[in-house]
A and B are shown apart, each in its own frame.
Chain A
Amino acid sequence: MSDIEGFNMPDDLYYHKEHAWVKILDDGTVKVGMSDFYQKNSGDTTYIDLPFEGDDVEQGETCGKIQSAKWVGKFVSPLTGKILSVNEDLEDDSTLINKEPYENGWIMTMKPSDLDGELANLFHGGAVSDFVKKEIADIDKKKQQQ
């Protein structure tokens, strides 16, 4: 676990700029969910339109919707590949995204088609801290303007 400004952003994960995390599994497939930074800022997830199993998606493509309070936000695939499975438990309790973002709150698994090439577009290691700090700075700047 790595704590960045109060947000739990585990070191072994990769992060997309739209706040999805990627965990590389032993068999070369990946597990995807939304980060602690996302869930703490967005509040309780009230609804999720899950992506479809079997769909081919591209990195950065919107493949689902996540609603928190009155905001319908997009769920963006962090990698290109085929969706192998989706977490149907979220249909019963979408707040798993908030309660256990890196465990039972996962959203989908994928077979990536260009993992090595696309990982370069994600934040990892020291870059995660810079990314989170910049996001926080943007929010703080807005608060100061108010």
Chain B
Amino acid sequence: MEKWRFLDTGRLSASENMALDEVLLECRARGESPNTVRVMQFSNPSVLVGFNQSVEQEARVDYCLESGIDINRRITGGGAIFFDRTQIGWEVICEKSFLGAGLPSTTLFESICEPVVQAIRELGIRASFRPRNDIEVDGRKISGTGGTDEGDALLFQGTLLVDFDVDSMLRALRVPVEKLKAKELESAKDRVTCLKWELGHVPGPEEIKSLLKRNFESAFRIELVDGGLTREEEILFNERKLFFKSPGWVHKVKSPGKEQITIHSIHKGDGGIIRTAMNVNLQQKRIKSVLITGDFFSFPRRTILDLEAELKDVKADIGIISEKVEHFFERTDCTVPGFGASDFVEGVKKCLDKVEITRFGIPLHLANRINAVNATFASVINDRPKHLLLPYCAKSPDCEWRYNEGCAECGECSIDNAIKLGQEKGMESITIQSFEHLMETIELIRKEGATSYIGCCCEAFFMKRLEDFEGSGMPAILIDIDSETCYDLGKENKAYAGQFERRTEVNIELLRMVLNAEL
């Protein structure tokens, strides 16, 4: 039976662990090191970005610094991960010929993940391999993996979530949650699991390591012999440690923009609302990750999680996405009552429409606050709308015009500025007093010949009235307003009665950009 080394490197810093990956792979490629299964832990919680990722786009750097979270870069591909102190990392460094495959195929990934799947099953958890390269329990990820190669050797590694600190993960990584609201945190927690959540207790690290060791031995038909670093590895490790700590390595990939922006959309289908949050690699025009939430049920329960996994790394092209989603619904025979494949495509499309808005010189973080209904942003702009609808709640509570249509143009609130911006473009401004007034106004301007309008309202109002906005049939651009709205404060009923007594702000900067938008 072939003998391999079992290397337990214990707790090391992120830079040391990453340096060691490179050293072990390089020495194996040169034929100086034995085939190895390594297990590892981290001395500090750490964010590890993938080889080709930018730190600024993937991590909330300030939060990490304040919280003592190390940031480093893996030599393997894949997305950014959060490695807390309880997690166990495992990896295989061996000659490619042992695994009989020179290419990164699903077969290769599955054969390396299988021992880990078996180890988790031995604990009594129904783990399985999810192509292309994750290990899951009922659709929730428990181990993510990545790999790389050099010469005739490969390194394939994974995490094993033990007692996962998901709140810190969500704060340390720029995952597609916008404001880290409780509901968003909960839905993100549905996407992962760990040994503690499954078992109700935390197995000791030694027990886990020995389970991994035994299962690698039986799956690979090898004998794992405990061993340390070779002299060559020690020398190289000491040489490389500093480099892996340096900004030259950690910040090797510069972000095209300053930070990752999560794009959001809301789509209303027969079954209710679908909220889609998406991170997109703008340079490569590719979806990085998607989070789909809403008040719906799916059968099987894991459908949405699988759909999200299906859309990861897909080209941000609505034709390709549409094909993928439709194929997914056909292939998996899943059901989401009240929704079809086209509803989920629409959610993604609305996110991508916001990316399109950046072509008009509007930065993505602001484009994210624009919703177009019944038409694209571009077609409304090309239509040159003549009406600007503004919310009464942006007027001062003590303004005599607060509950009346019109404005004294005194300069005391953002409505005045908005009206002036509208006048510069020859637009008529109307302050909207209530939902009914809004609907009447849309009908009125339609009769006057209007074919589109621009409006300002909060996202909560937009979501609640989306069906009415769409039902009116009138193309519109709706710009989110600033500050706490009646919905944030739980006073939407008072606001509906025209009695909301706080002042919101029209986002003047964004309104100016929209009114000046030209291709």
Contacts and interface: CB of A to CB of B under 8 A. Distances in A.
A82 interface: no
Contacts of B76: 70-72
A73 B104 contact: yes
Interface residues of A, number: 34
Contacts of B313: 44, 46, 69
B51 A72 contact: yes
Given A42-B103, A49-B52, A138-B101, 14 more contacts: A44-B313, A65-B52, A68-B77, A68-B104, A69-B78, A69-B132, A69-B133, A70-B77, A71-B146, A72-B76, A95-B315, A142-B101, A142-B111, A145-B111
A143 B114 CA distance: 12
A38 B108 CA distance: 14
A73 B51 CA distance: 11
B103 A38 contact: yes
11 contacts: A18-B102, A38-B103, A41-B103, A43-B132, A47-B52, A69-B104, A70-B144, A91-B283, A93-B284, A94-B284, A138-B101
B100 A71 contact: no
Interface string B92-115: 000000011111110110110010
Interface string B80-99: 00000000000000000001
A68 B110 CA distance: 16
Interface stretch (B147-155, B175-183, B389-397, B497-505): B147-155
A119 B247 CA distance: 42
Q: Binding site of A, secondary structure by majority: helix, strand, loop or mixed?
A: mixed
Interface string A44-67: 101101000000000000100101
B78 A70 contact: yes
A70 B133 CA distance: 8
**Residue with the greatest number of chain A CB neighbours at <10 A, chosen from B77, B133, B145, B283:** B77
Given A46-B284, A68-B104, A70-B133, A142 B51 contact: no
Interface in B304-349: 313-315
B290 to A, nearest CB: 15
Interface in A101-133: none
B50 interface: yes
Nearest to B79: A70
Nearest to B110: A146
A21 B68 CA distance: 48
A141 B108 CA distance: 11
B134 to A, nearest CB: 9
A82 B110 CA distance: 39
B105 A41 contact: yes
Contacts of A49: 52
A27 interface: no
Contacts of A65: 51-52
A31 interface: no
Contacts of A41: 103-105
A66 B110 CA distance: 21
Contacts of A42: 103-105
B119 to A, nearest CB: 16
**Residue with the greatest number of chain B CB neighbours at <10 A, chosen from A44, A46, A73:** A46
A135 interface: yes
A23 interface: no
A138 B111 contact: no
B75 interface: yes
